[in-house]
Each structure stands twice: as C-alpha cells, then as structure tokens.
Amino acid sequence: MQKSIELVKTDITTLDIDAIVNAANQSLLGGGGVDGAIHRAAGPDLLAECKKIGGCPTGEAKITKGYNLKAKYIIHTVGPIWKSGTENETVLLRKAYTNSLSIANEHRIKTIAFPNISTGVYGFPKQLAAEIAIKITRAFIEKNKYPQKVIFVCFDEENYNIYNAILKNN
Ligand code: ADP
C-alpha cells in the first residue's frame, strides 16, 4: 500500500481512525490541552486503564484502548518540556515520535494521528518541533510496514501553516 502523510486542522478526538496519539504527561492521569480533551472524550474507563500502567517516562509511549472515541487505540507519549534547548529536548521529542510509531507498527495500526506534541504548555518551538515530527515520520514509514497513513493534526493556525510549508516544500 502507498504510504501517506496528511495534514488537517481539527480536534483530534473527532477522528475515525485506528489510533490517535496523546501528548500526555508522565503521570498518564490526564491534564490540560489535548490530554484533557482526549480523557473527556474517551470517558472514565481510560483513566482506569492509565492508572494501571503507572506512568510513562519522557520520550516513551504506552498504548491503551480508545473507549468512547471512534479511534480504537490511544498511544500516550510524553514529550519534553522546553527549557533552554540544551537539555536533550530535541532527542526526547524524536524519541516520543519514534516510540509512538514503533508501538503502532507492533500493533499493525494502519492509520494514526499525531497532535503537535510539546508545542502547547510544554513550550517547544513550533517550527523545530514540526521539522522533527515530519522527518522522523517520513523515515519511519518508509522503513516499516505500519503505519501506512499518518495524519498531523494541528489545532492552531500557526502550527498548521508551519506544517503546510514544510510538507509542500520538500
Ligand atoms: P504539551 O504539554 O505536549 O505541550 P498541549 O496539549 O498543551 O501539550 O499542546 C500540544 C498541542 O496540542 C498544541 O499545539 C495544542 O494546540 C494542541 N491541542 C490542544 N487541544 C487539542 C485537540 N483537542 N486536538 C488536537 N490538538 C489539540
């Protein structure tokens, strides 16, 4: 099957696909931003499953069911908090994308959507985060059978324009 990358501007919780990625925090017990939206939409059974997992280190990823979402799975990953740029932030963001994609590959997930990890409250520079997300994803889908379709979900205009420019230009 032909691999593809798509860009949409929407609420990630509304997507009817195999898996969505959550930009979670280390506790996996919910939070603000996209994490809060996903927990609200998935319902309380998600929190119960997350409690059993017992947390997730930065850069790692864990999978749960999607519960009330249309998506069958949620892959929870923890992006880095941007500090000075010299504290491994870029390495950790790369790991968050790679580990999420690896879990998708293991579970034979065909279609997956990513939010713009770390670019909200965690303060990662949006341009740099988008370059990392696209570069890692392109390389991963070329080498692996799954996922076959990756959707980058931008919630704000600034991120949408950044992704659009990168995806168009190369
Ligand atoms: P982080 O703590 O990783 O920065 P945030 O949730 O604060 O996580 O922000 C990550 C990105 O998710 C931001 O670009 C934000 O605009 C976006 N976002 C917030 N709510 C949603 C949503 N419902 N669907 C998709 N993206 C969202």
Angstrom distances, CA of residue 121 to CA of 42, 84, 135, 159: 21, 15, 23, 14
Rounded Cα gap, residues 105 and 99, in angstroms: 10
Ligand 1 pocket residues where CB is under 6 Å? 11-13, 23, 33-35, 37, 79, 115-122, 153, 155-156, 159
Torsion angle (degrees, nearest 10) of CA 44, 65, 101, 24:
10
Candidate from 116, 122, 156 with most ligand 1 atoms within 8 A of CB, to mutate: 116
Question: What's the domain range around 147?
Answer: 4-169
Q: What is the pLDDT of residues 38-95, one digit of tens each?
A: 999 999 999 999 999 999 999 999 999 999 999 999 999 999 999 999 999 999 999 9
Say how many domains are in the chain: 1
Q: Output the domain CATH number for residue 23.
A: 3.40.220.10
Burial 1-36 (b: 16+ CB within 10 A, else e): eebeeebeeeebbebebbbbbbbbbeebebbebbbe
Tell me if the pTM is above 0.95: yes
Q: In 3-156, which residue ranges form alpha helices assigned H by DSSP?
A: 33-42, 44-53, 89-106, 126-143
Q: What is the pLDDT of residues 106-147, one digit of tens each?
A: 999 999 999 999 999 999 999 999 999 999 999 999 999 999
Q: What is the pLDDT of residues 19-50, one digit of tens each?
A: 999 999 999 999 999 999 999 999 999 999 99
Index of the ligand 1 atom closest to the CA of residue 37: 23
Which residues are catalytically annotated? 35
- Give counts: helices (H), strands (E), the chain: 5, 6
